Amino acid sequence: MPDLTPGVASALSPLVRRIVAPNPGPFTGPGTNTYLVGIDEVAVIDPGPDDAGHVEAIVGAAMPERIKWVLLTHFHPDHLPATARLVARTGAEVVASTRRLPKDADAVVDRVLRDGDTVEGTEFGLEALVTPGHAPEHLCFLLEEERTLFSGDVVLGGMYSVVNPRRGGDMAVYVATLQRLERLRLTRIAPAHGEAIDDPRATIRDYLDHRASREAQVRALLAERPHKVAELVARIYGGADLPPELVTAAGWQVLAHLQALKAAGEVTGTARSAWHRV
């Protein structure tokens, strides 16, 4: 099994290596996975947190003159911040779905990719897939030679992705993104957190079933009587051994489902009020 130890470059295939950042936690699992794609020319997917040791591990694994691109799946703080430090070492081109970075970001996006655009290296082609829902700017990248999907935070290894409306997450859009990915012919998913996934279709179907199950729970509870978000969290997650730091995240998920149902005309309410079935 390739290593998930931070700072260790592990080969996942002839074209792909992974280095785990030293930022483990309840939302990041063992840490953010940074992927190096290519040999003579290298694309770095998601540099991760601004950690000098992690950047040195990336540069040491690929050699600075070979790193030509930095590809960003999205701009969350466990994916973006190392970009400026890595570019300073390598001069790589920064590629993302938009130039509108967070205000506190030091990086600059050099090239904007739209759906179907590609980054072409000596030995590989990476196709950009616009995949919003977890974040509005989210991209996945499809390695054409191996049918490997670099899924960012859309699909994770060993845990479910969080959809946070306060950071631009949209549950209805996220489910549509999963449905799109389910239709792709994939051999493997390389997620931003956790192990590689060798049963892509089954995993994506499990994600869709999980979201449908949560939505059904919300509907059933609102059919009983109106509930606030905190009450729904207690009813839905109360029987589970949920760590305290994840209670807030559960609230984000419930709110995201409520907002999706509201957009569909099924419920009314706000983040602070009780929610009612229409």
Catalytic (active-site) positions:
78
Q: Say what angle helices 171-182 and 247-263 make with each other, to 10 degrees.
A: 90
Dihedral angle sign, alpha carbons of residues 81, 82, 85, 90: negative
The Cβ of residue 167 has, within 10 Å, a number of other Cβ atoms equal to 14
Query: Closest Cα partner for 103 from 77, 71, 125, 138?
Result: 77
Phi then psi for 205, rounded to 5 degrees?
-65, -40
Strands (E), 124-252: 125-130, 139-143, 148-152, 188-191
Do 16 and 37 touch, CB atoms closer than 8 A? yes
Alpha helices in 48-111 (DSSP H): 52-62, 83-90
Neighbours of 30 (CB within 10 A): 19
Query: What residues contact residue 45 under an 8 Å CB cut-off, 6+ apart?
Result: 34, 35, 36, 37, 71, 73, 141, 150
What the block records as the tokens of 188 is 């493997």
Cα–Cα distance for residue pair 99/101, rounded to 1 Å: 6
**Contact by Cβ (8 Å): 2, 196:** yes
